[in-house]
Structure 1
Amino acid sequence: MRLIINFISKIGVDSFSRLIGFITLPFITRTLGPEGYGAYSYLFVIVSYYGFFIDFGYLNYGTNKLCEKEDSGNVIGRILSLQILTAIISYAVIVLSGLIFLDKDKFLQILLFSLIFIPQIIAIKYFYLAANKLYYNSLAELSGQVIYAVLVFTFFSMKPEINILILIAVIQAFVIGLVLFIPYIRKNKVKLNLSLRDNLNTLKEAYKLGLSSKAEGITSSFIILITGMLLTEQAVGLYNASFKIYLILLTIIQGLSYAMMPLLLKNVKQTNSDNAGKLSVIFYSFITAGFVLSVMTFIFSDKIIHFMFGNDYADSIAILRWFSVTLFLWPFVMFTGLLLLALNEFGKLLILSLVSMITSILFSLLLINVYGLIGSAMVLPGVAIISTVTGIISLRQCADGGNLKFTNFISPLNLYNGIKDIYLRVR
């Protein structure tokens, strides 16, 4: 029952949050145009690379530690301490590189955007995820989106500049972080420890999940980075407009992922028939959601682009159609990644993420150089295919005759048993 409540709250509230994004995104992209929106998107990617180690896979690391019943104050304290130290280093790198390599305006924009590191530290989503209170994360995102929309339609509409949009994004991040952190800190104490030795020990524990998380980030952000380097900021804007639509639609599948993660973490290692049925239901839920979203996006891609962004973004239609292919393929990657996480197979999860990252880097350099803008849209489908094959091979290596055989996932009998079990529990 908790699973269903989490899924409904996650999908319902997140869908409303994304609906707000559907409202603000067209206004921003139309106001700035492809070139201005591309410049903003390119800045965001650059800042994310400066803050590479601040969000170093702590969502998965923290969730896993807390699900093992470790003291929350201890876990959160270790993570926050490490994030604070890495933030200090990141700001030092920004200042040093800005003074040496960047012009004044670009440096100030990056410095302003980097304020987003602070709320990233206090956004303890992993605590609520491990506690099966996904609605906290959803409400935090909704609060941030509402503030973002209000500021966009007031301050940004009066002064439509990239710097104003950067400031609004920073404020949004602070709202999300505070909504998550304040309820926890009111009832709990967090002990910070800035000892370099102790934080290195925490980093040693988290580095596999950290590298895995960052590899996932690079998989998508490197495409934008290379598009800006090899093509133009306008090309970045055209690509990122379709990419935003893709991310909004992917939220539905991510809702499944977040809702079912605690169930997988607790039950996937058991080998009884009930758990085989649950795994089959989860698998088909992922695939069905991806298929429906993929077909709908492909059919209505031209209408979506013209309605959302206008004629200036007509070149984004073909890009969105390629993303519709990715929407069908990516749930396979997410599902295999979830299973590896649930089995504590962090090494295999890291390999899966590194394969995705390396594939993205190689395909980006090749396809964008050869095919230009449309080549950027061809990268993620290729990444999804190779990553899915890698994930299936990894699961076979740790299956040992249990429930993780691919035939168990697709088994109609297991699917039927899983649906029947859920029905009996709900009834």
Structure 2
Amino acid sequence: MTSAIKNSFWYLFFNLSRLVVLFLGTMWISRVLGPESFGQFSYLLSVIVFVSAIDSLCHESIVKQYLTQHQDAGLIMGTASLLNLILAAIAVLFILIFGFLTIPESLLLATFFLFIPGQLSKPINPVANLFDIRLLSKYSSLGLFVGALISIVFRVGGVSFSHDLWFQSLGYSMQTLVYAGVLYLLYRKKLEHLEWKVSLQLLREMVKKSSPIFLSALVYLSISQSDIFFIRHMLGAHEVGIYSVVVKLSEPWVIVSSALCTSYFPLIFRSAHNLKKQADYFIRANQISVYFVSILGLVLSLAIEFIVRLLLGPAYSEVSSIFRIYYWSIIFLFFANIQHIWEVYNGLYSVSLYKTIVTCILKIALSFILGRLYGLQGFALATVISLFFYGVGFNFFNATTRPYLALQTRAFTLSEAKKNYRLFRQRAKKWLKKEY
């Protein structure tokens, strides 16, 4: 447990540092570019993110599961690396065809710079999974921080001289390339040498196990990116820029969920012999999520207008009212991310896919209806409602996931609140005795 806490601390430290750098840099870039140009860049990024769903055919949770349960780490690393290379080649081919057929010629160069360089780093991804399993994710998050820092310096410096989107796209891709280089160097220095081998049978198994997750990712990206497509065609690029800033203001806080899931994943899989301990891990993760999101949400709701004026200027004055709605979708995203570990542990990939498909249909329908009625606020409200269904509501209606609903509910019972209060008092007394 102590190692998990230490890992979470360093993971949070490096990733929060990275997100602060990216957040401040992106706010400055969006301010200089203005809502229209920033909206065009965000639209291209949404296309790229959607195509990147193919990466889920070598999903990190499956690779981590193999690394946790099997002895030959070199075989798993080599096979996963080859699979990532194959998927990257397919993705590049797809974006080339898609780009020439559908994207305006003026944005083609920006699209290719945004996507293709980053795909070159995909074969190194299993190294990050190995760090996570060894509770050394601080090293992978350090690599992300270095990549983000170099990338944002390049982009912020570049926007002062040129507003061309291809320049921003190239800078964005640098983050992934630098990350891959740092990750490889840390792997060579911090971990024992592994002989990377390839098994075509294992590769097929990985694809087979990841297929439901890939379909879920494809549908989930339809949920998360559908707003951008709807807004672009229903309202315009200016509104895409406004809404993208709302999303960017909310994104940094999701890292807490990633830290929890990264640290608890191996602990949950290793506690299979102790179901009570495993249930406690899920309960604690849900409690931490709610406490964090609720306290931060109250603070941000009061301060958002000042933040927008300070960082973005009058062109983004609409952001405040939309953010106050959109932010509360994060808590349900936290719940969904934690539940995903439970689904992977129990092999409920098809249930996860079914849940994501139903949520996607709900989100698209709500976005179409509420977006037409209330504009950008309607799109934000559609996100909150659909993610509530994704993280909690589905469990009411599905018998397979209803046992997990019992864990979610138990996390917020009066007995758990009393237990947390007693634990807080004990630790406070211990700290005071240590100090005095």
**Global fold match (TM > 0.5):** yes
1:183 and 1:11 map into 2 onto residues whose CA distance is 18
Q: Is the 8 A contact 2:11 2:141 kept in 1?
A: yes
Q: Which residue of 1 aligns with 2:240?
A: 236
Whether 1:267 and 2:268 are equivalent positions in the alignment is no
Whether 1:188 and 2:233 are equivalent positions in the alignment is no
Greater mean alpha carbon deviation, residues 333-342 or residues 414-423? 414-423
Q: Which residue of 2 aligns with 1:49?
A: 50
Q: Which residue of 2 aligns with 1:119?
A: 121
Q: Which residue of 1 aligns with 2:133?
A: 130
Q: Which residue of 1 aligns with 2:411?
A: 409
1:26 and 1:98 map into 2 onto residues whose CA distance is 27
Alpha-carbon shift at residue 209 of structure 1 (Å) = 2.3
* Secondary structure at 2:54 match in 1: coil
Q: Which residue of 2 aligns with 1:69?
A: 70
Counterpart amino acid of residue 267 in structure 2: L
Q: Which residue of 1 aligns with 2:228?
A: 224
Whether 1:204 and 2:208 are equivalent positions in the alignment is yes
Q: Which residue of 2 aligns with 1:79?
A: 80
Alpha-carbon shift at residue 200 of structure 1 (Å) = 4.4
* Secondary structure at 1:132 match in 2: coil
Alpha-carbon shift at residue 26 of structure 1 (Å) = 2.0
2:20 and 2:329 map into 1 onto residues whose CA distance is 21
1:255 equivalent among 247, 259, 281: 259
2:343 equivalent among 334, 340, 357: 340
* 1:94-109 paired onto structure 2 within 5 Å: 94-109=95-110
1:287 equivalent among 287, 290, 295: 290
2:45 and 2:390 map into 1 onto residues whose CA distance is 26
* Unpaired runs of at least 5, structure 2: none
Alpha-carbon shift at residue 199 of structure 1 (Å) = 4.6
2:226 and 2:262 map into 1 onto residues whose CA distance is 25
Alpha-carbon shift at residue 111 of structure 1 (Å) = 1.8
* 1:343-422 paired onto structure 2 within 5 Å: 343-393=346-396, 397=400, 405-414=407-416, 420=423
Greater mean alpha carbon deviation, residues 136-145 or residues 43-52? 43-52
- The CA RMSD over aligned residues, in Å, is 3.1
The CA deviation string for residues 100-125 of structure 1, in whole angstroms up to 9 with x for no partner, is 44443333222222222222442333
Counterpart amino acid of residue 166 in structure 2: N
TM-score (norm 2): 0.86
Alpha-carbon shift at residue 358 of structure 1 (Å) = 2.7
Alpha-carbon shift at residue 378 of structure 1 (Å) = 1.6
* Secondary structure at 1:51 match in 2: helix
Alpha-carbon shift at residue 149 of structure 1 (Å) = 2.6
1:392 and 1:269 map into 2 onto residues whose CA distance is 25
The CA deviation string for residues 304-363 of structure 1, in whole angstroms up to 9 with x for no partner, is 222221110011112111122223433332332332233333233333333333322222
Greater mean alpha carbon deviation, residues 71-80 or residues 37-46? 71-80
1:303 and 1:377 map into 2 onto residues whose CA distance is 21
Counterpart amino acid of residue 270 in structure 2: K
Q: Which residue of 1 aligns with 2:143?
A: 140
The 1:317/1:268 distance shift into structure 2, 3 A limit, reads farther
Whether 1:318 and 2:330 are equivalent positions in the alignment is no
1:233 and 1:51 map into 2 onto residues whose CA distance is 22
Alpha-carbon shift at residue 29 of structure 1 (Å) = 0.6
* Secondary structure at 1:160 match in 2: coil
1:342 and 1:45 map into 2 onto residues whose CA distance is 30
Q: Is the 8 A contact 2:212 2:349 kept in 1?
A: yes
The 1:204/1:19 distance shift into structure 2, 3 A limit, reads same
Between the two proteins, the alignment pairs up a number of residues equal to 423
Alpha-carbon shift at residue 247 of structure 1 (Å) = 0.4
Q: Is the 8 A contact 1:268 1:342 kept in 2?
A: no
1:269 and 1:321 map into 2 onto residues whose CA distance is 43
Counterpart amino acid of residue 82 in structure 1: L
The 1:262/1:96 distance shift into structure 2, 3 A limit, reads same
* Unpaired runs of at least 5, structure 1: none
Q: Is the 8 A contact 1:395 1:405 kept in 2?
A: no
The percent of aligned pairs where both chains have the same amino acid is 17
TM-score (norm 1): 0.88
Q: Is the 8 A contact 1:253 1:331 kept in 2?
A: yes
Q: Is the 8 A contact 2:58 2:207 kept in 1?
A: no
